[in-house]
Amino acid sequence: MRVLGIETSCDETGIAIYDDQNGLLAHSLYSQVKLHADYGGVVPELASRDHVRKIVPLINQTIAQAGLNADDIDAVAYTKGPGLIGAVLVGACVGRSLAFAWGKPALGVHHMEGHLLAPMLEETPPEFPFVALLVSGGHTQLVAVRGIGDYELLGESVDDAAGEAFDKTAKLLGLDYPGGPLLAKMAEKGNSGRFRFPRPMTDRPGLDFSFSGLKTFAANTITANKDDSDPEQTQADIALAFEEAVVDTLAIKCKRALKQTGYQRLVIAGGVSANRRLRAGLEALMKDLGGQVYYPRTEFCTDNGAMIAFAGLQRLKAGEREGLEVQGKPRWPLTELAPL
């Protein structure tokens, strides 16, 4: 089965074709970063309009890249949610319409299930069961994964997601949007130990997260050191202290989740999973625990069509289908999905 995957949940238009026999045949991605940079964040209406402009040319480009035509596509999978509802509906309307026009089945895919299964695109995919850390601009969740759709939410952020905290702290440091990767780059020049940020909610039991306080702590630290004689170095030191705090907090909670479940495998996925310090920290954790960590290649950490095509394929092969109605869900708990 060959599945065309369409991802439009936020500010990236991702298109891919996945074949259950030959793997990923082609994928294309268009980022709207430059469009939103002047506003310091994603403007939902602008995002939706840009998806409308880019989606059909990208679909044609991806099909041609794979050396196929519409008749060679067996099904269409598209992001149904969660996400910016206007952006989601662009992909959902186009995906469902194409499937109807081609006489092929269609399926709306859960965006976070796509991220969770993205490591399955690699040559050595993880086996079930495992603990998944889903960490992005909109979500920070720990999930016990016993199989596709068999999910138990262990903990999540009660306020800002980790990626959101990265971007907000980067903005406080005067960095452009999206600030998370720029903050991580700045942190590479920082001196460890000069500043120490709190590790929120690690001094109490449980697996929930809270990162909004780190942003406030960063703001206060920046203000207190605004007259430093070497402002660039001070900013780098603050960036490093912030990054270390986030990574340590995530590692502590992952260790608790692994102990609670008894699992030996950890998956990290979502945009923040591309962070080098986070990968190194979790690799060290799993080495100490005698387990193994898995993550997608960098290009599949952020939103992309390949993860939607792959996730959709699994459910389409199990017989799931979408009706003729077009639906989008701005909020959609992962635990509402049916196990396969």
Residue set of the binding site for Fe cation: 111, 115, 303
For residue 123 the two structure tokens come to 């040559």
End-to-end CA distance of the chain: 17
- Alpha-carbon 113 to chain mean position: 10
From 180, 178, 163, select the one nearest 35 (Cα to Cα): 178
Taking only Cα atoms into account, the Rg of the chain, rounded to an integer number of angstroms, comes to 20
**Rounded to an integer, what distance in angstroms lies between the CA atom of residue 178 and that of residue 6?**
23
Query: Cis bond leading into 178, ω under 30°?
Result: yes
- The kind and range of the H/E element at 9 are none
From 290, 266, 289, select the one nearest 278 (Cα to Cα): 266
Beta bridge partners of 292: 265
Pairing of strands 23-31, 12-19: antiparallel
**Annotated binding residues:** 111, 115, 134-138, 167, 180, 275, 303
- Residues with Cβ within 8 Å of 53's Cβ and at least 6 positions away in sequence, in order, are none
**Rounded to an integer, what distance in angstroms lies between the CA atom of residue 287 and that of residue 294?**
12
- Residues with Cβ within 8 Å of 214's Cβ and at least 6 positions away in sequence, in order, are 165, 169, 197, 198, 200, 242, 245, 246
**Rounded to an integer, what distance in angstroms lies between the CA atom of residue 138 and that of residue 235?**
25
Report the SS3 class of residue 42: coil
**Annotated binding residues for substrate:** 134-138, 167, 180, 275
**Rounded to an integer, what distance in angstroms lies between the CA atom of residue 252 and that of residue 256?**
6
Contact yes or no for 14/27 (Cβ under 8 A)? yes
For residue 192 the two structure tokens come to 């460890």
From 339, 281, 285, select the one nearest 314 (Cα to Cα): 339
